[in-house]
Chains A and B, each alone.
Chain A
Amino acid sequence: MATPLHHIVATPPPFDAPPYPADVFAGQTVLVTGGGSGMGLAMATAFAQGGAQVAVMGRSLERAQDGAARIAALGARVHALSCDVRQADQVAAAFDAVEAALGPVTLLANNAGANFPVLAQDISVNAWNAVTRIAIDGTFLCSTEFARRLIARGQGGAIVNNSAQYIWTGFPGDAHSAAAKTAQATMTRRMAREWAPFGIRVNAIAAGFFPHETSTAGGREGGIEPLQAMIPAGRTGSTYEFGWLAAMTCTPLLAGLTGQVIVQDGGESLRRSLMMPDFVPPRERAEGPWGWR
C-alpha cells in the first residue's frame, strides 16, 4: 500500500541545498568508518558538502575507493583506506595513514556496522561477534584513538555515532543489532562527559529506516515504495537528510551540543496503539522485507 495522496508528507530541501555553509568544515579532516556506501557514504558526503577533507574507511578497500570517488566528484579532497575497526593496531595505523594523507583528524563518524535479520537462537558465535564487535568495539577503538590524538595536541573535535531507532524498544528478530546499537548510544553519553573537558563533543543519531543500495530491505524487488506507508511520516528517510543531521551535530552552529542521542525516524519507533495487528513471533516471520529467510 502506498501513502494515501490526501496525507501530507513532510519533505526536506533538495540535496544541493545543505543546511550549513560550504566552508563550515574548511581545513578539517573527517574520518568516516564504513564510509564507502549507504549511511556512511551519506555522512561522508554531508561532511564534504561542508568543505571537510574526507577519509573514507571500510573493510573493503574497493568499496571505500568507490565511495571516495563519488565524494571527490563533489570537489572534496579524499583518501580511501581499508581497516577492520575491531583491531586496535589497524585502527592506529589507519589514523596514521589519514594524518599523513590529509592532516590531523578532528571529526569522526562511527558508522561501520553489520546487520541482518536472524532468529536469536540461530545467531552463530561468528555472527554475534561480527555485529556486536564492529559497532561496540569498533566505536570504542576508533573513538579512543581519535580522542587520545586530539588530547595530545590540545585540540577539540567532534564525534557522531550512527545508532538506531530501536535502541529503546528492542528489536525482536535482530537481537545482535539491538544490543550493539544501544551500546553505541550509551557510550555516546558517557564519552561526551569524559571528553567535555578536552573540547571533544560526542553525539549520536538514532536513525530510522533510510533505504540504500546495500540495506537489507533497500534492494528488494519492487523497491521501497511498499514500505513508505508503514512509517507515520508517510515515507522512509532520504540518506542525505540523515547525513546532514549527523554532520550538523559537528558544526560550530551546535557548539554546545554534546551527549545527545537524537532520534530521526519519521515517528517509526513511536507507532503505537492498543489495537494492533496480531503479534507474529519472529520465528514465524521468515518472509517479507525484514524476514530472516
Chain B
Amino acid sequence: MATVAEPSADLGLGPNIASANRQLPAVASYEQVNDDIIGTLRPTKAWFAGLSVAILCLLIGAAAWMWQIYMGLGVAGYTPPVMWGVYIVTFVFWVGIGHAGTLISAILYLFRAGFRTTIYRCAEAMTVFAVMTAGLFPILHLGRPWKFFYLIPYPNWRLIWPQFKSPLVWDVFAILTYLTVSTTFLYIGLIPDLAAMRDRETHPVRKRLYSVLSLGWRNSDREWRHFARAYLFLAAFSTPLVLSVHSVVSFDFAMSLVPGWHATLFAPYFVAGAIFSGIGMVFTIIIPLRRWFGLKHYVTINHLDAAAKLCLFTSLVVGTAYLTEFFIGWYGGSEVEHSFWYTRVFGQWWWAAWIMLICNCVLPLTLFSQKLRRHTTWLFILSIFINLGMWFERFVIFEPSLSHEFEPWQWTAYAPTYIDWAILLGSFGWFSMWFLLFIKNLPVVAIAEVKEIVPPRLTTTHPPFGVPEPSPDRVDVEGMHPEYLPETPGERD
C-alpha cells in the first residue's frame, strides 16, 4: 500500500548508520505502522494469479509424485550407484533455506542486531515453509514411501526400533524438532500482531479467528513481560538448533564412507552454506515484497545492506570450505579422494562444480562494493544466482561422489528426468503457495517489533527545543525525547 512516505522512503538513510533509532525515518507513528502493514493484507488480482501459478506447479509436482508411486522410483533419473538424486539435493537445499529464518529471528535477536527487526517475520515464515517442503523429500525419495513411519520409533509388537546408529534416524528427529520449534517461534512472535489485527478487523468470522489465535491478548504489562520472556527463551532454544539441525543433515553424508562425503568439515560447511542460501532466499523474497507491498520505508536499504554483509561473510566461509575440500582432496594422498576430486572439478562434473563456484564464491564478491550492496536490483539478481549456486552445491556434493566411488567398474553418470524436475517444480509451488497464503493473511513485518523502534507517541505536538519541526517526509528522532508516554512494550523491563 502506497503511503505518503514512499517517494522518499530511503531519505536520510546513509550507509553504515548503527543507531537503531534512525532505522525507520519514514515511519511516524504506531497508527501508521498498523495502517501500512495490515493494509498489505488486502488480496489483489496479481496475488490470486500468483497463487494460481503456485498451485498449478504444486499439482504438476503432485501428479509426478503419484506417477512415481505407481510406477516405482525408476521414473526418476537414478542411475545406480547414484542412489540419491535430485530429491536429496532439493531436500538439503530447502533445509538450508530454512536456516536463515531462525538465524535472523533467533541468533540476531540475541545479538541485538537491529537490522533483523523488519525482515525477520518474513524469514521466519520462510523457514517454516522451507522445512515443510524439505520434510517431504525424504519421504518422496523412499522406495516405499507408504512405509515411512518405520523410521519413527513407535511401540510395536515386533519390538523393532529404528537403527539409532543411522544418521537418517537422526534426521527424522532433527527435522521434526526444527519444524516444531520454528513453527512455535513464528506463532509466539505473531501473537501481539494478531491482537492488533483483531482490533481492526470488522468481519465477524475473521475477528473471531484472530481473537482465538491471539489467545486473548490484552496488551497488558504482564502479558508483555511473559511474551518477552517466552520469546527470549525460544530464541535461546532455537539458536543451537540452527547449528545442530544442519549439522545432522550433513551427517547423512559425513558419516558414510563415500569419497567426497566422508569429511569432518561437513557440519560447519553445511551450516555456513545453509545460512548463505537462506539469506539468498530472503533477498529473493523480500526485495520484490517491499516493492509490491510498499514497505520500502520499513525494510529499508540499510537493512538490506546489513544482510548483504552477512551474505558476503557466509559466502567467504563457504568458499573457504570449498577450497579446504579441494585442498584435502589433492593433498590427502588418497587415490580414491584424489580421483574423485579431479572428476568433480575438472572431469565429468566440471560444469556443475563451476556453476557452484561462480555463483557462490565469485559473484558474491561484488558485495564488497557498498554501491552494489545498496543496489536492490543487483541484490535480487545475485540472490537468484545464490539460490541456483546453492542448489548446485548440493548437487556437486552428492552426485559426483556417488558416481565416482571406490569401485571403478561401477562409475557412472547421472541425469535427472522430467519427473525429477516436475517434483522440484512442485516443491517450489508448495513453498510459494504457503508463502503467498501467509503474506495475505498474516503481517509480513512484525508490527509489534517495528513499533518498538519507531518514535513513541508524543505527549506534545511541539518538538523539543532546538529540534526542527518534523515534516511529513522526515521524522528525525535522533535525540531522545524526554516526554514520551511509557507505553512502549517492554520498555521498562
Q: Do A and B bind each other?
A: no
Q: Which residues of B contact A (CB under 8 A)?
A: none
Residues on A close to B: CB < 8 A? none
